[in-house]
Structure 1
C-alpha cells in the first residue's frame, strides 16, 4: 500500500455526514444505534437510587422539585423502564417510540444527576439525548433493524424478490448521524467560544496563556494521586503549554468548520480524542463519554467489509414464499461485498437443475464455490458464516445439541409456512397466464 493510499485511508476513519449523509450500506447507522444504546446502559445501569433515597443529597436546591419525594420508588421503576426501552431501541424495534421515550427518560435522569453533580460526565448525558431524538425522528431510514424487517411486510413479494436479485448498488441515508454530528460540532464550537469569551462581552485570551494550564496541572497534582506524576514537569515548558492550549481551541472550533466546508473530520476527531487521553497524563482524569460519541461516526461499514468472506455463494429460495423472501432480506443488506447471489426456481442456472436428492420446493439451498450443497438449517448457518461477524453464532449452530433442535424447528417452519406465514403466490396459475 502506497503512502498516499495510507493517508487517504487514515483521512476517512470518521465520516463527515454533514457533507454527505448517504452511504452504500446501512451498517454505520445500525452500529451507531448500538453505540448510543450502550452508552445509555453504561450511564444508567450502575445508578443505585435506593442508596440515594436513604441519604438524599441535592447540590442545587432549584432542581430539588425533580425528585419524587412522595414516591421515591418511582426512580427505580424509571431506571428499569429506561433500560427496557433502550434495549428495544438497540435492536431497532419501534425506533420512533423507543428513541423518544429513552431520550425523555434519560434527560430526566441527567437532570437528577446534575442536581447532585454538575461534572462533565453528567452534562454529557444531555448530548446523548439529542442523538436519541435524531434517531427517533429519522427512524424510517434505519433499514438494518427490527423495524426494517417489519417494513418488508409492506412490500409485495415481487418487489422483495426483485431486490434480492438486484445487482445494482443501493444507497442509504443517515440523517440521524448528520444532525448528531452537527450538534456535536456546535457544542465543541461553543466550548471554544466560552474559553475565549467567558463573559460574552470581550475577548479574554487568558485561557490559552501558559500560566493558566500550568496552574490547573499544578493544582490537580497537589490535590490528587496521579498515574503519571512526572507529567507535572510540563509546567517548566511554557511554549509547549501554550501550543497545547491553542491546539485544543483550534480542534474544538475547527471541527464544525471542517463539517460545513465538506472536508475530512478525521484529523479533528483524532486530535480531540488525543486531547481526552492527554487529560489522563496531565490531570489524571478521563472524559470517556466523548470517545463513545466519536464512535458514532466511525466507518463501521469499511471495517465490516473486511470481515465479510470473499467466498461466493449462490442461494436458491422458494419464490412463492413471502416469508422466505423477508427472511433473506437482512442477509442482502449485510452482504456489502456482493458475494451472495439469490435465485428462485424459475431462473436457476443450468448447473443447479435436475440435481439428485434436491427438492427446491421443500427448503432453501446454498451452493458454495466448490459446488457443495447445504440444505435448510445448514444453508442459514452458511449464510451466517459468510458474514463472519456472526461466527460465534454459526459455531454454536454447528454443535450437535443446537443443530438437532435447529433442524427440527426449520423443518417444522418449512412444512407449515403456508399455514403460519404468508405464502400466497399461486405459481401454477401464474404459469397458465
Structure 2
C-alpha cells in the first residue's frame, strides 16, 4: 500500500492502469517542454562554449533542423499519448529527442536537458515493451487478431490478473542509477574534504545569488552555518543513494522518493528552478492504481453485463473495461450463461444494475458511468445530438442479435 511502487522488486500489478497514466502524463509533459523551448535560438549561441567531448554534434545542419524536429517529435508524441503504434511513435520520438538534446548539450547542458534525457529514456522503454500496455489504441487493435474464445476468456476470467510493467521497472532503475551518479559526481568534481565541509554548497548559494541578483532567505542559514551546510551535503548524498539501495533490495521506495523530492524543493528554495522536471519524473512511479481503486468505482455496487458471446465486435468493445475494472465492480456474463430474464433480449448488450435493466447504447453508456472518473463522458453521451450519433455508431459496431445472428440457430441450452 505504498504511495510509490518499487517496480524493480516486482514489475507485476493487478491493474494495467499505471502504464496508461504514465504514458499520458509523460507524453503530454514532454510535448509541452519540446514546444516551449526556443530551439531556433540555439544555433546563434557563440561557439566558445562547445563541449569538445560531443563536438561532432555541433554542426550547422543539426542546429538548422532543430525547429523542424520539434514539431515532428510533438506529432509523434501525440500518437504516443493515445498509444497508437507505440513501438514506432515512441521509439522514433525518443531517438529524435535524444539527438536534439545532444545537439543542445554541445553548448549548454542545463538541468532541463538532463531531465528530458530521462524522459526520452522512459519513452524508449514504453516502445520496447509496448505489448505490456493494455489500455491503449494498440491494445484495442490487437483484440482484432484474437479469437472469440480468447476474448470471452478475458471477459469471464475472474481470477487475479497480473500485468507486467517492464517499462517502469527499467525506468525506475535508470533513475536510481542517475541519482547515484549525481552523488558520486559531487565527490569527483573537487577535493572530498571541501564537499564534506559544505564549503562548495555555500559557494554555490553565494554565486547563484550574485549572478541571478535574487535574495533567497532560505539559503542564508546554510551560508552562515558550516554545520548546516555539512548536513545539507551529507543528507543530499544519502537521499540520492537510498533510492538505488531500496530498489535493488526490494524495499519500499516511498521514503527515498519523497526525500529526493524534498531535496529538489530545497534546491529550488536555495538556488532557483533547477531540475524541477525531475519532480514530475519521480511522481510517475506513484501507485496510481491504488488511488484509482478508491476513486473510480464502488466495489459494493456490482453491475452485471450480459453480452452476446458469439459476437466478436461485442467482446472487443468490452475487453478494455475488463482491464479497467480494478475493483471487480462489473461482472461480464455470456448470454448463453445468463439468467432467462437477461438472456431473452434482442440487444447484444444488456446491463443490470441495482434492479434496473438497460439495453444497447444506454447499457453501454451506463457501463462507462460505472467508472466515476469517466462520468463526464457518460454525461456527454446522454446529451442530444451526441446520444443520436452515438446510438447510430453503436448500432453499426454492435448490431442486435436479430440482425447479427438472424440466420444462425440459437445455442442449445441443454
Aligned CA distance change for structure 1 residues 76 and 16 (closer, same or farther; 3 Å): same
Greater Cα offset, 268-277 or 140-149: 140-149
Aligned CA distance change for structure 1 residues 297 and 164 (closer, same or farther; 3 Å): same
Aligned 8 A contact 1:192 1:249 in 2: yes
Could you say what secondary structure the match of 1:342 adopts?
Answer: strand
The CA deviation at 1:418 is: 11
Could you say what secondary structure the match of 2:126 adopts?
Answer: helix
Aligned Cα root-mean-square deviation (Å)? 2.8
The CA deviation at 1:16 is: 0.7
Q: Does 1:22 align with 2:12?
A: yes
TM-score normalised according to structure 1 size:
0.86
Aligned 8 A contact 2:221 2:228 in 1: no
Aligned 8 A contact 2:16 2:133 in 1: yes
Aligned CA distance change for structure 1 residues 115 and 315 (closer, same or farther; 3 Å): same
Match of 1:330 among 306, 315, 320: 320
Match of 1:77 among 68, 73, 76: 68
CA distance in 1, matches of 2:234, 2:218: 23
> Which residue is 1:387 aligned to?
371
**Residues 73-117 of structure 1, C-alpha deviation per residue, up to 9 Å, x if partnerless?**
643332221111111111111111112101110111111221232
Aligned CA distance change for structure 1 residues 243 and 382 (closer, same or farther; 3 Å): same
Greater Cα offset, 87-96 or 397-406: 397-406
Aligned CA distance change for structure 1 residues 185 and 373 (closer, same or farther; 3 Å): same
CA distance in 2, matches of 1:35, 1:197: 35
Aligned 8 A contact 2:143 2:151 in 1: yes
> Which residue is 2:188 aligned to?
197
Aligned 8 A contact 2:14 2:162 in 1: yes
Could you say what secondary structure the match of 2:332 adopts?
Answer: strand
Aligned CA distance change for structure 1 residues 349 and 191 (closer, same or farther; 3 Å): same
The CA deviation at 1:293 is: 1.2
How do 1:28-177 residues align onto structure 2 when only pairs under 5 Å count?
28-51=18-41, 55=44, 57-58=46-47, 59-60=49-50, 62=52, 66=57, 69=60, 74-177=65-168
Aligned CA distance change for structure 1 residues 314 and 14 (closer, same or farther; 3 Å): same
Aligned 8 A contact 1:318 1:344 in 2: yes
Q: Does 1:285 align with 2:273?
A: yes
CA distance in 2, matches of 1:321, 1:273: 50
Aligned residues between the structures:
410
TM-score normalised according to structure 2 size:
0.90
How do 1:192-271 residues align onto structure 2 when only pairs under 5 Å count?
192-198=183-189, 204-226=192-214, 228-229=216-217, 231-271=219-259
Structure 1: 5+ residue stretches without partners = 1-8
CA distance in 1, matches of 2:215, 2:83: 41
> Which residue is 1:13 aligned to?
3
Q: Does 1:368 align with 2:353?
A: yes
Greater Cα offset, 60-69 or 282-291: 60-69
How do 1:342-381 residues align onto structure 2 when only pairs under 5 Å count?
342-354=332-344, 359-360=345-346, 362-369=347-354, 371-381=355-365
CA distance in 1, matches of 2:389, 2:209: 60
The CA deviation at 1:296 is: 2.1
> Which residue is 2:409 aligned to?
428
Could you say what secondary structure the match of 1:428 adopts?
Answer: coil
Structure 2: 5+ residue stretches without partners = none
CA distance in 2, matches of 1:226, 1:425: 77
How do 1:312-331 residues align onto structure 2 when only pairs under 5 Å count?
312-331=302-321
Aligned 8 A contact 1:377 1:406 in 2: yes
Aligned 8 A contact 2:7 2:172 in 1: yes
The CA deviation at 1:353 is: 4.9
> Which residue is 1:3 aligned to?
none
The CA deviation at 1:300 is: 0.6
CA distance in 2, matches of 1:236, 1:73: 47
The CA deviation at 1:174 is: 1.0
**Residues 223-273 of structure 1, C-alpha deviation per residue, up to 9 Å, x if partnerless?**
324474354133233222221211110011121111111111111100000
Aligned 8 A contact 2:348 2:401 in 1: no
Could you say what secondary structure the match of 1:390 adopts?
Answer: helix
**Residues 53-82 of structure 1, C-alpha deviation per residue, up to 9 Å, x if partnerless?**
6x4655317567646746976433322211
> Which residue is 1:5 aligned to?
none
Greater Cα offset, 409-418 or 216-225: 409-418
CA distance in 1, matches of 2:240, 2:407: 62
Could you say what secondary structure the match of 1:316 adopts?
Answer: strand
The CA deviation at 1:152 is: 1.5
CA distance in 2, matches of 1:297, 1:77: 32
Aligned 8 A contact 2:18 2:289 in 1: yes
Aligned CA distance change for structure 1 residues 406 and 198 (closer, same or farther; 3 Å): same
